[in-house]
Amino acid sequence: MNELAITQRQNKFFHEVSMSIKQFFIDVFTGIDGESFDIGRVLWAIGALVYCFVTVFVVVKTVPTTFDYIAWGTGFGAVMAAGGAALWMKRDTEPKEK
């Protein structure tokens, strides 16, 4: 195989991977129709990410580290449950599937 064929194969692979990642995020952040973005799902994901980043910051900056795993798990479970409950409560406002 020459270098051009290898490069073309790599480009095709990376294009397919990037498109599947893009489709994943579209599926996660849109309603059932796959077109309209759902603010509840976006805010839920942002809340979970912020919770994790704050956790890393506290663990790195706190000396000595006294990290309570039970409290962290309880808090993260509450964040995830609240997001799920919010999506459940607004299920009637979801756009209809095409």
Task: Classify residue 9: in a domain, yes or no.
Answer: yes
Predicted confidence at residue 77, as pLDDT, reads: 93
Which residues lie closer than 8 Å to 75 by C-beta, 6 or more apart? 51
pLDDT digits (tens, 9 = 90+) for 7-62: 777 777 777 777 788 888 888 888 878 788 888 888 889 989 999 998 888 888 87
- The boundaries of the domain holding residue 16 are 3-93
Total count of domains within the chain: 1
Task: Classify residue 77: in a domain, yes or no.
Answer: yes
Predicted confidence at residue 53, as pLDDT, reads: 92
Task: Classify residue 84: in a domain, yes or no.
Answer: yes
Is the pTM higher than 0.75? no
Task: Classify residue 98: in a domain, yes or no.
Answer: no
